[in-house]
């Protein structure tokens, strides 16, 4: 692309009376400004009064801790079996976090007692092992408490297994037999082989392209090391692997399985067809083989979250892979959708607890070592280069490369499209400590802000088993990694580009609603890509706010008083109220075909500061062409400095349009 040329502003061509920047600033200082586009913005003498910055709501949103509950992060150590003091909903954290399942199924006893007894101790009453057979029946099996949900849970399993393809059976077989952590590691995409090498991670099913013939007659187990080698035995990556391995502390699904005593789907119905290659893996002891929750899913989720924490460049891909493994448990016929949901909830709670309760220095050391080792391995000089490498493959090689498809699939696997049992529109609550999961993915936000992100991206209430009292069931970590979904208070984002990574550049891809205001501060760049409707306005005080979609800037006024608004969409970007740019502000437009990169202002545009005009890679304008930069209902003022990449140009202003005429190449 050509070098930029900068020149003094030309004489404006327009009929309306224009003020100088000095007069505009003086009028603004008189205190008669407004963030509306009404006639009261014009003084009696006809001079335009610059609006004040959008006022917003005047407060920030919060996500307070749920009240009156026992927090999982504080009680995770109670998730045990064979202990009379930790055998009930009230006394066992793992059982308690899954209690939404009681609205679907009531176990024969409310104790962690399937196949296990406990002696009395410390004033706690002991008990004998229950007589639950593990085979659905009318006497000792428990009771369905929501027939419609239960029926759909088993019917979903039947439909899925009856329509299973050979490729799906292979995927289900591998996710059943391989080490769960080894399986989810392929969510690292281009980084997978580098991770496995650094981790010294192995599997006897590595590179398997078909199901071993002997698996149909003999159970095949993975004799690899699953997570890899941790600690001092692996000097360059052991800290990372020890961190991942620590997710297993107090994370067992066995206490919950033995409390809820809910049979495997193939025991509920012969319409559920277990993959033939996994027939030998079926347990022959149904009384200790409960289906709820899925242990494979829980392990995959908690380890994937840990890996996403240390390599946040693949955050969404890793958690998507963990839920793909959960889906493959249904495909295998080994678990029902609600079993998998229970595994997700408990796996998430376990990861949150273990990360939250870890020493901050330990998890920072794991993050640092992961980046030092992997960046060196892939030859990435900077963390930005590392990010590019981590996303360098298309879907033919990286099945998680399509962000939109991942988002949709992940959302589906949170609810399985089950009917909501309630349409109550209750606000989500956020578990204590859950914000720590986003600590490396959104390092520029405060802990309180990350909690609000989790709240605004949470699932609606009312889906089966998801309304636990702490809020784990409704968390949507994939959506949370894409930033706020609502500004129900004012949001100030302060990024420090000198720290690199997501501190320097991040994208919020959610469709943002709410009445709050967004203020961009700090030196980094934040891109907005959603169909946004937030109405409190946008202020760019420092750094860059990049509009990557037509409605990125929401429905309020836009005020550029110290940073840069970069227009980078494949369409015209809309400002649905007034646009104000002061002398320290910059408008940077990336013009392309079919009016891409233009700014359209529904109200009045007050202009000063700098205009930069650049061009999309697929758009090469011709000398002599006149290009529209901005359209508004009215213009006041003009840019102080203008540069057009590769051209000498003349800028013209009329009653509502700013255009550049390309005089010659620079």
Residue 138, pLDDT above cutoff 80: no
Beta strands in 57-216 (DSSP E): 105-106, 143-144
Whether residue 172 sits in one domain with residue 52: no
The whole-number pLDDT of residue 530 equals: 98
State the residue range of the domain holding 573: 4-59+487-665
What b/e string do you get for 165-189 counting C-beta neighbours within 10 Å, with b at 16 or more?
Answer: eeebbbbbbbbbbbbbbbbbbbbbb
pLDDT band for position 645 (cuts 50, 70, 90)? very high
Average pLDDT for 375-380: 98
Which of 460, 478, 496 is at the close of a domain? 478
* CA 328 – CA 498 distance, rounded (Å): 42
The whole-number pLDDT of residue 374 equals: 98
Average pLDDT for 502-516: 98
Residue 349, pLDDT above cutoff 50: yes
* CA 463 – CA 454 distance, rounded (Å): 17
* CA 201 – CA 234 distance, rounded (Å): 11
Q: Is the dihedral of CA 453, 457, 459, 465 positive or negative?
A: negative
The whole-number pLDDT of residue 167 equals: 97
State the DSSP code for 383: H
The whole-model pTM stands at 0.93
- End-to-end C-alpha distance for the chain, whole angstroms: 11
- Contact call for residues 618 and 587 (beta carbons, < 8 A): no
* CA 46 – CA 186 distance, rounded (Å): 65
Pairing between β-strand 518-522 and β-strand 538-540 as defined by DSSP bridges: parallel
State the DSSP code for 528: E
Whether residue 495 sits in one domain with residue 467: no
pLDDT band for position 45 (cuts 50, 70, 90)? very low
pLDDT band for position 425 (cuts 50, 70, 90)? confident
Q: Beta partners for 649?
A: 662
The whole-number pLDDT of residue 137 equals: 85
Which of 428, 456, 478 is at the close of a domain? 478
Asked if residue 124 is part of any domain, the answer here is yes
The whole-number pLDDT of residue 195 equals: 98
The tally of domains found in the chain comes to 2
The whole-number pLDDT of residue 26 equals: 37
Instruction: Name the 3-class secondary structure at 38.
Output: coil
pLDDT band for position 93 (cuts 50, 70, 90)? very high
- Contact call for residues 605 and 577 (beta carbons, < 8 A): no
Ranked by mean pLDDT, the top range of 1-10, 140-149, 312-321 is 312-321
- Contact call for residues 452 and 286 (beta carbons, < 8 A): no
Average pLDDT for 560-586: 97
pLDDT tens profile 200-222: 999 999 989 999 999 999 999 99
Q: What is the largest CA-CA distance in the chain?
A: 93
Q: Beta partners for 45?
A: none
- Contact call for residues 445 and 53 (beta carbons, < 8 A): no
Residue 19, pLDDT above cutoff 80: no
Asked if residue 220 is part of any domain, the answer here is no
Whether residue 164 sits in one domain with residue 287: yes
Whether residue 92 sits in one domain with residue 14: no
* CA 181 – CA 1 distance, rounded (Å): 46
Residue 24, pLDDT above cutoff 80: no
Whether residue 154 sits in one domain with residue 27: no
- The residues, ordered by sequence, that sit 6+ positions from 368 with a Cβ below 8 Å of its Cβ are none
Residue 13, pLDDT above cutoff 80: no
Whether residue 596 sits in one domain with residue 540: yes
The whole-number pLDDT of residue 44 equals: 31
Whether residue 450 sits in one domain with residue 560: no
Residue 424, pLDDT above cutoff 90: no
pLDDT band for position 581 (cuts 50, 70, 90)? very high
Asked if residue 67 is part of any domain, the answer here is no
H/E segment holding residue 413:
helix 403-415
* CA 47 – CA 25 distance, rounded (Å): 11
Q: Beta partners for 614?
A: 590
The whole-number pLDDT of residue 120 equals: 98
Whether residue 543 sits in one domain with residue 435: no
Residue 95, pLDDT above cutoff 90: yes
Asked if residue 264 is part of any domain, the answer here is yes
- Provide the CA 665 distance to its chain's centre, in angstroms: 44
Rg, C-alpha atoms of the chain: 29
Asked if residue 151 is part of any domain, the answer here is yes
pLDDT tens profile 286-338: 999 999 999 999 999 999 999 999 999 999 999 999 999 999 999 999 999 99
Asked if residue 225 is part of any domain, the answer here is no
Complete DSSP assignment for 600-628 = EESSEEEE-SEEEEEE-TT--PPTT-EEE
Q: Residue 293: is the preceding peptide bond cis (ω within 30°)?
A: yes
Residue 141, pLDDT above cutoff 90: no
Mean pLDDT of the chain: 93
* CA 459 – CA 610 distance, rounded (Å): 42
Closest CA to 228 of 217, 237, 219: 237
The whole-number pLDDT of residue 230 equals: 98
Whether residue 392 sits in one domain with residue 274: yes
Residue 7, pLDDT above cutoff 60: no
CB atoms under 10 Å from CB of 279, counted, come to 13
Residue 2, pLDDT above cutoff 50: no
Whether residue 516 sits in one domain with residue 461: no
Residue 27, pLDDT above cutoff 50: no
pLDDT band for position 17 (cuts 50, 70, 90)? very low
Residue 127, pLDDT above cutoff 50: yes
* CA 617 – CA 624 distance, rounded (Å): 19
Whether residue 302 sits in one domain with residue 396: yes
Closest CA to 125 of 73, 86, 175, 76: 86
Residue 493, pLDDT above cutoff 70: yes
Closest CA to 153 of 602, 597, 463: 463
- The residues, ordered by sequence, that sit 6+ positions from 237 with a Cβ below 8 Å of its Cβ are 198, 199, 200, 228, 229, 369, 370, 373
Whether residue 194 sits in one domain with residue 94: yes
**Within 13 Å of residue 574, how many CA atoms lie on the same side as its CB?**
12
- Where residue 82 sits, what CATH number does that domain have? 1.20.144.10
The whole-number pLDDT of residue 22 equals: 39
Which of 452, 478, 504 is at the close of a domain? 478
Report the C-alpha dihedral over residues 315, 321, 323, 328, rounded to 10 degrees: 180
Rounded percentage of the chain residues whose pLDDT exceeds 90: 90
pLDDT tens profile 474-491: 999 999 999 999 999 999
Asked if residue 422 is part of any domain, the answer here is yes
Asked if residue 221 is part of any domain, the answer here is no
Instruction: Name the 3-class secondary structure at 24.
Output: helix
Beta strands in 52-140 (DSSP E): 105-106
């Amino acid at each position: 692309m050509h070098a930029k040329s900068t020149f003094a502003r030309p004489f404006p061509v327009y009929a309306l009376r224009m003020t100088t920047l000095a007069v505009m600033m003086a009028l603004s200082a008189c205190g008669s400004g407004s963030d509306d586009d009404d006639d009261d913005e014009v003084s009696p003498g006809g001079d335009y009064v610059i609006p004040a910055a959008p006022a917003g709501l005047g407060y920030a949103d919060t996500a307070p801790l749920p009240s009156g509950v026992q927090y999982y992060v504080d009680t995770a150590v109670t998730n045990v079996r064979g202990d009379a003091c930790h055998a009930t909903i009230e006394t066992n954290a793992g059982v308690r976090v899954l209690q939404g399942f009681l609205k679907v199924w009531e176990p024969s006893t409310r104790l962690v007692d399937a196949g296990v007894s406990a002696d009395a101790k410390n004033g706690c009453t002991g008990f004998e092992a229950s007589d639950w057979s593990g085979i659905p029946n009318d006497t000792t099996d428990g009771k369905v408490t929501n027939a419609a949900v239960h029926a759909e849970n088993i019917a979903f399993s039947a439909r899925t297994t009856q329509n299973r393809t050979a490729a799906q059976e292979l995927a289900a077989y591998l996710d059943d037999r391989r080490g769960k952590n080894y399986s989810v590691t392929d969510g690292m995409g281009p980084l997978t082989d580098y991770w496995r090498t650094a981790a010294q991670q192995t599997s006897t099913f590595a590179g398997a392209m078909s199901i071993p013939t002997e698996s149909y007659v003999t159970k095949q187990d993975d004799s690899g090391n699953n997570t890899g080698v941790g600690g001092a035995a692996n000097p360059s990556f052991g800290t990372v692997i020890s961190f991942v391995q620590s997710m297993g502390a107090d994370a067992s699904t066995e206490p919950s399985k033995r409390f809820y005593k809910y049979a495997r789907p193939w025991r509920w119905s012969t319409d559920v067809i277990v993959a033939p290659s996994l027939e030998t893996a079926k347990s022959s002891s149904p009384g200790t083989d409960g289906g709820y929750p899925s242990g494979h899913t829980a392990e995959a989720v908690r380890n994937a979250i840990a890996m996403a924490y240390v390599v946040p460049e693949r955050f969404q891909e890793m958690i998507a892979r963990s839920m793909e493994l959960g889906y493959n448990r249904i495909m295998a016929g080994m678990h029902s959708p609600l079993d998998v949901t229970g595994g997700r909830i408990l796996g998430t709670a376990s990861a949150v607890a273990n990360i939250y309760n870890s020493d901050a220095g330990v998890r920072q050391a794991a993050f640092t070592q992961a980046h030092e080792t992997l960046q060196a391995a892939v030859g990435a000089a900077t963390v930005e280069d590392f990010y590019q490498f981590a996303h360098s493959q298309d879907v033919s090689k990286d099945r998680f490369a399509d962000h939109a498809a991942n988002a949709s699939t992940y959302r589906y696997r949170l609810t399985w499209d089950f009917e909501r049992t309630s349409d109550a529109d209750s606000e989500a609550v956020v578990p204590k400590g859950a914000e720590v999961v986003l600590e490396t993915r959104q390092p520029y936000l405060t802990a309180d802000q990350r909690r609000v992100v989790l709240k605004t991206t949470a699932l609606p209430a009312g889906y089966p088993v998801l309304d636990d009292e702490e809020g784990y069931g409704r968390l949507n970590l994939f959506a949370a990694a894409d930033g706020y979904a609502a500004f129900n208070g004012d949001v100030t984002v302060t990024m420090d580009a000198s720290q690199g990574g997501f501190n320097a550049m991040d994208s919020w891809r959610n469709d943002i609603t709410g009445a709050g205001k967004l203020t961009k501060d700090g030196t980094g760049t934040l891109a907005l890509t959603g169909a946004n409707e937030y109405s409190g306005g946008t202020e760019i005080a420092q750094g860059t706010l990049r509009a990557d979609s037509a409605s990125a800037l929401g429905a309020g006024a836009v005020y550029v008083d110290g940073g840069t608004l970069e227009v980078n969409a494949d369409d015209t970007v809309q400002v649905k109220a007034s646009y104000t740019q002061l002398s320290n502000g910059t408008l940077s437009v990336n013009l392309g075909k079919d009016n891409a990169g233009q700014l359209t202002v529904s109200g009045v545009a007050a202009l000063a500061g700098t205009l930069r005009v650049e061009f999309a890679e697929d758009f090469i304008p011709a000398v002599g062409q006149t290009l529209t930069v901005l359209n508004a209902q009215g213009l006041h003022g003009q840019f102080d400095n203008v540069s057009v990449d590769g051209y000498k140009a003349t800028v013209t202003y009329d009653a509502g349009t700013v255009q550049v005429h390309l005089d010659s190449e620079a």
